[in-house]
Structure 1
Amino acid sequence: MHTIKSNEAFGHPKGLVYLFFAELWERFSFYGMRALLVLYMTKQLLFTDDMAFGVYAAYMSLVYVTPMIGGILADKILGFRKAILLGGILMALGHFFLTFEHPIFFYGSLGLIIVGNGFFKPNISSFVGDLYKHGDHRRDSGFTIFYLGINFGAAVAPLMCAWVAASYGWHYGFVLAGIGMVAGLLVFKSGLKNNVFENKGLVPDENLYKQKHLGIPKGTIITICAFLAVPIFALIINYHQFEHYLVWIVSAFLIIYIIYILTTVSLTEKKRLLIAVYFTALYALFSAIFEQAGSSLTLFADRNVNLVGMDAAGTNSINAGFIMLFAIPFSLLWTFLNKRKANPNSAIKFGLGLLFLGLGFLVFALSAHSVDAFAKTSMLYLIVGYMVLTIGELFLSPIGLSKMTELSPLKYVSFIMGVWFSANFYGHFFAGKIAKLTTVNEGEANMFSKGFFGQVVEFVTGITPEIASQNSDNFQQLYSYLSVYASFGVITIIVGIFALLISPIIKKMMSCVH
């Protein structure tokens, strides 16, 4: 039985409370700024929609590339503490610089946030894992609580920053996001001051950190290089139309570095690392489907749902709202099942996560049965669909965060956390491709309107291409959305069932990691 110690709070290490609030405020700043970004570009900077979407997609992709680099540097030289502080400072500067309306400041700000996120995001998540010893059954529960902090920030920030921007001006909205980041840094600093992390997260090798090149210590060189990298990322965003080349570069880097790690670790660590890669691949698929929330699902809500009490942009907060509702019950559920030795292993949880995600999208597709004369469907299906896919997210995303810290070879834990976040990079890239499948081009048949998927779509929605073509343009757009959702819902369910079937093999390869 686990006894409560003086360095614990609510049955978890006290450091979790500080990391929870630091991450909450960092996510407040990130999602607050993100909520304003596309609107700011189209309404204030007068970018075309294509330009705004291109910049947004490149920015969101790059935000999930830099954690790999930040993870490597923290593992080898900086340690979690210094990496988190450096990342937080860079991100705060990025938010504040957005208040200056000039292309150099605009792209430079996005560059600062991208580089800062690379140092902050993987290392604060790895730090949470570091609070628990291997085999500590509170780990999944702790990560679910941590995940609640992420989503509380994500739910509140868009509403607050959007209100401030609308009431007082865009720049005040960005300032509020910046203040959120500073608040996160102050919380983290107070945790360091109160020594709640004890001896965790320190520089791994003081001699290496202080080793000088051209009279400058390595730690200082990293800080200088971080700032020098900002204009490089700013240029990549500016020339976002070449993003597919970046996908190939990142993939090549990942494969080469993972192969290198495999040559340096034991057989048990090799197996665990391959499972970490397998979980990341499943998460990339999950992310590509899930991230329709910010693109095609928002347009679907705008054009084809009878919204009550909120506009289409507001529907983006439904997911985070359900996370806040369910995160603590899920955390308690894992603890309850642990005590009864009935907690399903991570391989099963991943399969269930994909199953629920697929079911959520089938619920969206089923909304066809409530369609009215204006080709609009009941909002109830949208809310229930979001609720179901949120359950899927809680089975998979926080559990994945937890498992990366356990499955990683000790020397590479932050890099592997960066690999986990790269799933979002691929997810955002492919989410854009999936969203484009929902667009209606006159004279072109929908790729999901015939064959196996055509039968699936007809079975789920009751609509055929012939019925759609005989109705209004708005009805054809509805059919386009729902045919994609039904088809990808079924694909995701099939992958989820496959993941459940092979879960005993995966569990065996994880060797002692639950």
Structure 2
Amino acid sequence: MNRTSSGVDEEVELSKLVVAENEDSALYHNSDVDKKKKNHKAKYPKHVFLIIGNEFCERFSYYGMRTVLVLYVRNFLGFGDDDATTLFHAFTMLAYFTPLMGGIISDSMWGKYKTIIILSIVYIAGHGFKTVAAIPYIPHRSAHITLSVIGLLLIAVGTGGIKPCVSSFGGDQFQSGQDVYRKQFFSLFYFTINAGALLAKIIMPIFRADLKCFPGEDGPLFEECYSVAFGLPGILMIIALVLLVFGSSKYTKTPPSGSIFLRFCKCIYSACKNRWNTKPAERNKAHWVDYADATSRMKRDTKYVLGVLVIFSPLPLFWALFDQQGSRWTLQALQMDRYWGSYLIKPEQMDTINPILIVTLIPLFEATLYPLLRHYKIPFTSIRKMGAGLILAGLSFIVTAMVQFEIDKTLTPLPSTDQFAVRIINTSPHIINFKSDHSIFDALILKPNEVSKTQTEFMETNEWKFLNLTYSIENKESSSQSISIAVKPSKITEVVISGEDADIWFQSDLLSKQPEDGSGIVGFVNSDRGKYYVKFDDDPGLTMQLEPMSRSRGIRLPVGSNYYFVYDIGETGNNTKEMLFKGEVDIKLSGIYSVVLISSKHEKKNIHSMEYENANQIEDVNHFRVSVAWMIPQYVLITVGEVFLSVTGLEFAYTQAPPNMKSVMTSFWLLTISLGNVIVIMVAQMKSIKRQAHEFLLFAGLIAIASIVFIYLGRRYTPVDEDEFEKDKIEDAEEDVQI
């Protein structure tokens, strides 16, 4: 079912588990529907292709929305990284909890077909709310948030509710004796899951980042096209519903026969209740489940399921790490150099590595690794595979933390909400000495055309509103001037000192929000008294006017060399054709730069860019320098871990669960995933972890503990006797014959 990162493989394996349960049941149950089925010579039920189309559209719909979700919450709704991660995993948690509800409703009330239809309508409504929420014209941030939350709740209910139904409903369309046709159907069904999810992960980030759905509009809400990124998946879900309804008259619709999960819960409840009501001196039964009001087989099957659940108890930690591919790892990719050659990878598209590796590694291991281990008689049991999966997931997060440490080294420190920062540029021809009532600027000395280091200091509840500075030309005390700089929390205030006698100063706020669309930002500082305008070579229509003694707005430019031209604005205010200066600015991915224009003796003909550290530009905020290719090892490790744990775990659950309890086991498997997302939410909301790399190491430590617990439980686990299940099938078949 829907995996948050590679959920494709999870969907495939869970579908196999559901179908296997139906096939086992068909061996010894003779329902009214079975009696109506024709012999094995019946034609292939072509209407199953409508179910195939439905699944493709639904998978594209779900993954298309989910792929861009964390960036939508962060960039459009304006939440921080921690809150965006929390909302992402809260949605995922609900999407893995609601299959339990869908299975109970399907088995007890509506049947599979009706459940899919009704919850698909809920699903579509959720997409509608999400699409409307992403329209920038809607006033008030609270309205966007409210509509988004409603949409996510409906989508989680819809996708989770139909999760247990679609694959088994497809299997119901085949008659007894059509095993070959059924296997062909599921092979195509599994391919469809992979195709829909993978295409969505590739395409929807392009719509989000590159499509200009509101041309001519300006502002942060118009920079990305989330309304289409959510609207298109909604349209695909409508198509999915239409395809399913189109074949309504041709489907085999199995009536509800009661929920085995509810019977399982009743068995547990009655066992606990009866044992509690039994006096301690009279509690003489071997196992507490033996006190249940249920048949002996139901008690036995319940014990088997509980035994497997003990083994599964450490697994939520694996999913806590695994599901962060769609949240924390996406945000990590956002801080890296995402250019592969000339192509800029969208941060969400890194998520495609996992499903691509999955479809490669599963057949590769089946053909090479596992036969090799068997050849050398190296035991690699299901328990050992799952333990290896936990360990590999932990290693992947150690690698993730190492990558994050390298990223942190290259990032520009920026003031937080309780800090301010000040930078001073001296464009005068004199050496300037500073004195201040604040220690960090006291005794500061700046040479001509020198830039001070950005100084950061904690603010105590707006204690610092003004920073008082006194500066003078070296060896010329009479030139002393006092200035008062207005500082703001979380802002970098820039002060420029200019003039032949260093008698002019002005301040402005530096830009610090880095662009995420593959460009860089440059701003121009005009330290001269004249007016100018700037044109760019690659975009003649892009011009800006530079007022005297001021900083321009930030202009986004593509990565690479960009030429600009400075023209004079005459005294009448009209642009002249006289070009005064031609300059070049070298833009790197997501870097923020300043070009400081100065002139000798304030003569316009001498205007030029200030040279600083052998460059004609100042890098205000560092560009992203660590290549995104360094994330590949962590993807490889966690994907191999998924192959060992997820695929093997489902197979283990199938072989160890009684035939009529396989759907119960599926429900609990999904609940481990849901609980894993709860763990992520709890950690994301911890305010004591200041660095993301430390959080990654925390998860690595948690799963190390989980691995030790799992290995201990695995060594104590006693596998069930599968021959006992075969005897049950024979006995049930004999009873059916007698009936």
- Specify which of 306, 322, 329 is matched with residue 274 of structure 1: 306
Q: Is the 8 A contact 2:89 2:680 kept in 1?
A: no
Q: Structure 1 pair 483/50, CA: closer, same or farther in 2 (3 Å)?
A: closer
The reply on whether 1:113 has 2:155 as its aligned counterpart is yes
- Hey, what's the Cα distance between the residues in 2 that align with 1:371 and 1:99? 34
Q: Structure 1 pair 162/296, CA: closer, same or farther in 2 (3 Å)?
A: closer
- Specify which of 97, 105, 110 is matched with residue 65 of structure 1: 97
Q: Structure 1 pair 404/71, CA: closer, same or farther in 2 (3 Å)?
A: farther
Q: Is the 8 A contact 2:201 2:348 kept in 1?
A: no
- Hey, what's the Cα distance between the residues in 2 that align with 1:78 and 1:332? 43
Partner of 1:283: 315
**Between 69-78 and 292-301, the greater mean CA deviation after superposition:** 292-301
Alignment of 1:96-107 (within 5 A): 96-101=128-133, 102=143, 105-107=147-149
Partner of 2:350: 315
Partner of 1:172: 228
The reply on whether 1:383 has 2:632 as its aligned counterpart is yes
Alignment of 1:56-205 (within 5 A): 56-101=88-133, 102=143, 105-124=147-166, 149-166=192-209, 167=211, 168=213, 169-186=225-242, 188=244, 202-205=254-257
Which amino acid counterpart does residue 116 of structure 1 have in structure 2?
G
- Hey, what's the Cα distance between the residues in 1 that align with 2:698 and 2:175? 42
Which amino acid counterpart does residue 178 of structure 1 have in structure 2?
G
Q: What is the SS of the residue equivalent to 1:204? A: coil
- Hey, what's the Cα distance between the residues in 2 that align with 1:16 and 1:345? 37
Q: What is the SS of the residue equivalent to 1:298? A: helix
- Hey, what's the Cα distance between the residues in 1 that align with 2:162 and 2:42? 24
The reply on whether 1:354 has 2:567 as its aligned counterpart is no
Q: Structure 1 pair 193/497, CA: closer, same or farther in 2 (3 Å)?
A: farther
Q: Structure 1 pair 55/374, CA: closer, same or farther in 2 (3 Å)?
A: closer
Deviation at 1:36, TM superposition (A): 3.1
Which amino acid counterpart does residue 484 of structure 1 have in structure 2?
L
- Hey, what's the Cα distance between the residues in 2 that align with 1:499 and 1:145? 38
Which amino acid counterpart does residue 171 of structure 1 have in structure 2?
S
Q: Which has the higher helix share?
A: 1
Alignment of 1:114-513 (within 5 A): 114-124=156-166, 149-166=192-209, 167=211, 168=213, 169-186=225-242, 188=244, 202-205=254-257, 259-260=268-269, 263=292, 264=294, 266=297, 267-278=299-310, 280-303=312-335, 307-309=338-340, 310-329=345-364, 346-364=382-400, 374=410, 379-401=628-650, 414=663, 416-435=665-684, 440-441=689-690, 477=691, 480=694, 483-484=697-698, 486-488=700-702, 490-495=704-709, 497-498=711-712, 501-502=715-716, 505-506=718-719, 508=721
Q: Is the 8 A contact 1:371 1:377 kept in 2?
A: yes
- Deviation by residue 1:114-159 (Cα, 9 ceiling, x = unmatched): 22223201233555787899xx9x9999989866644443332133
Q: Is the 8 A contact 1:143 1:401 kept in 2?
A: no
- Unpaired runs of 5+ residues, structure 2, are 1-39, 134-142, 214-224, 271-288, 412-624, 727-739
Deviation at 1:292, TM superposition (A): 2.6
Deviation at 1:427, TM superposition (A): 0.8
- Hey, what's the Cα distance between the residues in 2 that align with 1:31 and 1:58? 16
RMSD: 5.0
Which amino acid counterpart does residue 506 of structure 1 have in structure 2?
P
Greater relative contact order (CA < 8 Å, ≥ 6 in sequence): 1
- Hey, what's the Cα distance between the residues in 2 that align with 1:15 and 1:377? 51
Q: Is the 8 A contact 1:288 1:430 kept in 2?
A: yes
- Hey, what's the Cα distance between the residues in 1 that align with 2:85 and 2:311? 29
Deviation at 1:161, TM superposition (A): 2.4
- Hey, what's the Cα distance between the residues in 2 that align with 1:391 and 1:365? 19
Deviation at 1:386, TM superposition (A): 0.9
**Between 164-173 and 479-488, the greater mean CA deviation after superposition:** 479-488
Bigger radius of gyration, 1 or 2? 2
- How many residue pairs end up in the alignment? 417
Q: What is the SS of the residue equivalent to 1:202? A: coil
Partner of 2:613: none
- Deviation by residue 1:458-493 (Cα, 9 ceiling, x = unmatched): xxxxxxxxxxxxxxxxxxx47525633553463354
Deviation at 1:399, TM superposition (A): 4.6
Deviation at 1:27, TM superposition (A): 2.4
Q: Is the 8 A contact 1:364 1:381 kept in 2?
A: no
Q: What is the SS of the residue equivalent to 2:410? A: coil
Q: Structure 1 pair 388/36, CA: closer, same or farther in 2 (3 Å)?
A: closer
Percent identity for Structure 1 against Structure 2: 29
Partner of 1:224: none
Q: Is the 8 A contact 2:116 2:165 kept in 1?
A: yes
- Hey, what's the Cα distance between the residues in 2 that align with 1:86 and 1:188? 12
Q: TM-score, normalised by structure 1?
A: 0.64
Q: Structure 1 pair 439/157, CA: closer, same or farther in 2 (3 Å)?
A: farther
Partner of 2:284: none
Q: Is the 8 A contact 1:25 1:184 kept in 2?
A: yes
